[in-house]
Amino acid sequence: MRGPHNIWRLIRTGATFQRTGAMGAALDAMKAPRRVRAAARIMGLPFAWLGYRGDPALPPITRAITALGPAYIKFGQIMSTRPDVVGDEMAQQLRMLQDRLPPFPTAVARQVIQADLGAPVEVLFSAFSEPVAAASIAQVHEAVRADTGARVAVKVLRPGIETAFRRDIDAFHLAAGLIERLSPASRRLRPRDVVGHFQSVVLGELDLRLEAASASEFAENTREDAGLSVPLPHWPLSARRVMTSDWAEGIPMADVAAIRAAGHDTHALAERLIQLFLNHALRDGFFHADMHHGNLRISPSGDIIALDFGIMGEIDEFTRRIYSEILYGFIQRDYRRVARVHFEAGYVPADRDMAQFARALRAVGEPIFDADASRISMANLLAHLFEVTERFGMPTRTELILLQRTMVVVEGVARTLDPQINMWAAARPVVERYIRDNLGPPAALRDGLRVLQALGRHGPQLPAIVDRQVERLANPAPALVVIDPGGPRRMLWAAALLASGAVLGALLA
């Protein structure tokens, strides 16, 4: 329940970072100004005793995040893929958040399985191991099906995880509201919408039936993708808090030394990872949105194995086309095209200067090209992009949050495989192919056929729509007028249908 009690949660968050030493470590890693670091330490010391103690055996930042709970752990997982933002040392510390958190007792997992699947573990599985991996949401056990002898992975939700997440998210909602009230300039970033989006994504991750469905759909979409392997769910042994899937044997993506020792080409793997992600986002509009190291393996054959389908991203066809044009414009260094697409899509207010926006984009894009990837600071690049969006009044696009976040994570993982990887060069063939297939003459023909199909479905409704609108115009409501918010939209839709009908009639004549 949202309310003032969440202020206590936010206070304890700051106090926990101060008590564990994470506040100073985080500010140092982010290279915050010396005055900011000094002020944070002085102001935080009186409240440090209010924070959680955490596990003293862990490094400060990891100690604080694990003490605060699953929502904070999710954020730490993202930052673990960005050594160029938080530094190599902190990225290594945060990497344990991906799949090496303390597990809960196996006896508890057995109870959950029996409650959800309706039979004891001994009946369902001929072998059932201790936890082999534990993350913020669930832990995984290796098992063997009693009926088929198949080797499987059994994922079990942490007890009480939903309550813990709701508590954290409520505090985030309060923080977002306070930020909007205290800083009106922040409203264009829509912090409350961002938190709401995060809430919907995370709560969906807490139903493993939905994860099984996502894994099944993702496997179907990608069955022709060379170099990718997706473990399939076992539906009879899956429920809300339990999911059973194929066992996938492979080297963890974070263990680059072992990957090289096995004879795999890390540059080719990094390039393939980027291209697979872009293919799924642009071609399918349905992509794995949690592609950190802990969810990726390399099979003995060299395939990339994707695991954990609790967070998936979905973008509609219109957004995919806009996104691909923006990417293509950057790849071509055509900043006027990128600016025009932003304006046409409504991403930038129409009263802003397009030429100035194009020059601002050039200042962001040009340093990327023809530069050594190891010399590019993603932190500085993101800071520059933020300044541009603020200057031109661009609101946060909540429908693109997962896409943007995953793109950053994927690049981070790719750069651990090959620090010299050039994301733009790797992306180019995928984006060019999408542009060719979806924005050329064949795509225009397909769009035209879809318009005709829509006219065929809605054509019989045209006379009734026109009669109603004409009657409203001829007999306006007297005195009290109640405005119908949907009226103008329906008028425009009717006009569009009439115009399309006229064109269709002329073509058929």
Q: Which residues are catalytic?
A: 290
**Alpha carbon of 255 to those of 10, 103, 423: distances in Å?**
36, 21, 21
Is 208 within 8 Å of 308 (Cβ atoms)? no
Dihedral over Cα of 484, 488, 491, 493: its sign: negative
Q: Which residues contact 317 (CB under 8 A, 6 or more apart)?
A: 285
Q: How many CB atoms lie within 10 A of CB 49?
A: 10
Rounded to the nearest 10 degrees, what angle do helices 22-29 and 5-19 cross at? 80
**Which amino acid appears at position 380 of this protein?**
N
Alpha helices in 297-400, H assignment, sequence order: 317-332, 335-344, 354-365, 378-391
**Alpha carbon of 78 to those of 16, 163, 238, 269, 281: distances in Å?**
20, 22, 28, 20, 19
Q: Which residues contact 307 (CB under 8 A, 6 or more apart)?
A: 231, 248, 295, 296, 297
Alpha helices in 183-264, H assignment, sequence order: 191-205, 208-221, 256-261
β-pair type (125-134, 151-157): unpaired
Quick one: which of 109, 105, 103 has its CA closest to 124?
109
Dihedral over Cα of 390, 395, 398, 400: its sign: negative
Helices (H) and strands (E) in the chain, counts: 23, 10
Q: Strand (E) positions, 230-285? A: 242-246, 251-252
Is 335 within 8 Å of 358 (Cβ atoms)? yes
**Alpha carbon of 115 to those of 111, 121, 486, 489: distances in Å?**
6, 10, 48, 50
- Residues 310, 315, 320: CA angle, nearest 5 degrees: 140
Quick one: which of 175, 176, 135 has its CA closest to 156?
135
**Which amino acid appears at position 102 of this protein?**
P
Q: How far, in Å, CA of 291 to CA of 382, rounded?
A: 20
**Which amino acid appears at position 174 of this protein?**
L
Report the SS3 class of residue 145.
strand
